[in-house]
Amino acid sequence: MNSMETELTSALDAAAETVRAQTLRPLMKPQARRARRVSPWLAPIAAASAVALIIGLAVTIAGHVHTPRVVPPAVVAATAPPRYYIDIAVNNNTSVRNQPPVVMVQSVATGAVIGRIASPAGTVPVDVAAASDDRTFYVAYQANDGIRIYSFSMTARGTLTPMTAIKGGFVDAPDNNAMLSPNIALSPDGADLALSVSSTTVHGEQQRGWNDVLVVISLRTGAHRVWQGGLYRPGEVLSIPSISWAGSGTLDFVSFWCTSGGDTLCTPASNTQVRTLSVAADGGSLAASTVLLSASARYPGIAAVAAGTSGRLYIMALSRADAKGDVAATVDQVSAATGAVQRVLYRRGAFPVTMGPNVFGLRADSSGQYLLAVIYSLHWEELSGPGAPHELPGTSSADGIAWLRITQAVLRIRVLLWA
């Protein structure tokens, strides 16, 4: 052990000793389960602090409406909700051992695990996407040296094929922090896979951004087209937390800037935007994108965007609901052309959070009939009922979700969930 390692051991021991036995809270015993309608994980949640066990509930919003009578007649015929979704389970409730994150295919109706996909050695799954053939899926893995993209398929018999690395499916991200998870999205024609990744340029200077680079991978050739720069602001940190294809060749994304840098605190992001970028070129600057929507009184914080059909955008926004720090969330359908609100799809009043505003993900399918949203800290009892948004079973500890439709082509829904 060299001197630095000795110094390191000494520092870690000293830091650990600041945690004294007499200051520990006594462990709480498991609580008895409620008689009905209580998810198995609610008891642990009630006992443990939300910091340790923040649970995101997936909320499905059917047909951008909740009842058949409000479905616009001109829209394509209603289809059944998807039967399965894939997710990245962080704390796999169904396994005997507490495993590292794993990609799982689950039933929308019951949450039953259809299959699990073993991760390539030395990687951790961070996001997922589904193709329009309903059978091909893409998973982004964080490896030591960067992001690696793999795919797997579901056979006609409902079995899952092993993971295979896609051509060009490595995005070099030296010094990349595994926790700066990339977002991925598959183009509607299935030709390109887009990622927002972090350049994480830590060289003794302030980081310029989290997920501040857009990369489009051609799934046919493996070629990369990269968009970076042009949106950096002095003293601020750029982040792209959400991306969505608005037709092949156009990528919508959410951008915001924090006023502090590094892998540290992000002060309230009041300057979020939804921007659109043509990615038909061979790459370039993010400055080539244009603003579709800016933060406003209605949208104080835009956290996720999903491009819909016919010029629709779906926006998930957060706002401070009260002085206690509770947060309100809305999911609106707006016009991409004018920014006008066309429909309020979902509204959640003040709900408590422990770590600031939380909005986790939003994805629409190409038919415009289903939208999957994930919002932190919702109580599922309040969401149940005919026609109302409802929780997807089995998603309480998921990290990323992709809905997929097995029986028919068309539907692609994927959501990024941070539980």
Partner 1 sequence: MAVSRTEVPQDLADLFRARHLELVRLAALLVGDQASAEDVVQDVFLKVCARWDRLTESGVAVSYFRTAVVNGCRSVHRRRTIARRFGGTVEAALWAEPEPSAEAAVILAEDRRRVLRALATLPYRQREAIVLRFYGRLTEPEIAESMGISRGTVKSTLSRGLDSLGSRLARGGPGGPFPPVEGEER
CB of 303 to partner 1, least distance (A): 6
Q: Are 369 and 68 in contact (CB under 8 A)?
A: no
Residues 377-406 that bind partner 1 (CB under 8 A): 399
Of the residues 90, 129, 160, 334, which one makes contact with partner 1 according to CB under 8 A: 90
Of the residues 81, 357, 368, 394, which one makes contact with partner 1 according to CB under 8 A: 357
Does 362 contact partner 1 by CB under 8 A?
no
Does 303 contact partner 1 by CB under 8 A?
yes
Does 287 contact partner 1 by CB under 8 A?
no
CB of 163 to partner 1, least distance (A): 16
Query: What phi and psi values does residue 395 have, to the nearest 5 degrees?
Result: -105, 10
Among 29-37, 75-83, 219-227, 406-414, the segment contacting partner 1 (CB under 8 A): 29-37
Burial class of residue 410 (count of CB atoms within 10 Å of its CB; 0-12, 13-18, 19+) = middle
Residues 221-250 that bind partner 1 (CB under 8 A): 239, 241
CB of 373 to partner 1, least distance (A): 15
Residues 248-267 that bind partner 1 (CB under 8 A): 256, 258, 260-267
Residue whose CB is less far from partner 1, 95 or 110: 95
Residue whose CB is less far from partner 1, 98 or 155: 98
Among 30-38, 150-158, 308-316, 336-344, the segment contacting partner 1 (CB under 8 A): 30-38
Residue whose CB is less far from partner 1, 10 or 384: 10
Among 2-10, 61-69, 277-285, 334-342, the segment contacting partner 1 (CB under 8 A): 2-10
Residues 122-161 that bind partner 1 (CB under 8 A): 122, 124, 144
Of the residues 35, 74, 77, 96, which one makes contact with partner 1 according to CB under 8 A: 96
Burial class of residue 14 (count of CB atoms within 10 Å of its CB; 0-12, 13-18, 19+) = exposed
Does 301 contact partner 1 by CB under 8 A?
yes
Does 49 contact partner 1 by CB under 8 A?
yes
Locate tokens 């990245």: which residue?
88
Among 23-31, 182-190, 225-233, 285-293, the segment contacting partner 1 (CB under 8 A): 23-31
Does 38 contact partner 1 by CB under 8 A?
no
CB of 68 to partner 1, least distance (A): 35
Does 276 contact partner 1 by CB under 8 A?
no
Among 16-24, 74-82, 279-287, 362-370, the segment contacting partner 1 (CB under 8 A): 16-24
Does 17 contact partner 1 by CB under 8 A?
yes
> SS in 3 state form for the chain?
CCHHHHHHHHHHHHHHHCCCHHHCCCCCCCCCCCCCCCCCCHHHHHHCCCCCCCCEEEEEEECCCCCHHHCCCCCCCCCCCCCEEEEEECCCCCCCCCCCCEEEEEECCCCCEEEEECCCCCCEEEEEEECCCCCEEEEEEEECCEEEEEEEEECCCCCECCCEEEEEEEEECCCCCCCCCCEEEECCCCCEEEEEECCCCCCCCCCCEECCEEEEEECCCCCEEEEECCCCCCCCEEEEEEEEECCCCEEEEEEEEECCCCCCCCCCCCCCEEEEEECCCCEECHHHCEEEEECCCCCCEEEEEEECCCCEEEEEEEEECCCCCCEEEEEEEEECCCCCEEEEEEEEEEECCCCCCCCCEEEECCCCCEEEEEEECCCHHHHCCCCCCEECCCCCCEEEEEEECCCCCCCEEEEECCC
Residues 323-352 that bind partner 1 (CB under 8 A): none
Residue whose CB is less far from partner 1, 53 or 71: 53
Among 50-58, 74-82, 291-299, 365-373, the segment contacting partner 1 (CB under 8 A): 50-58
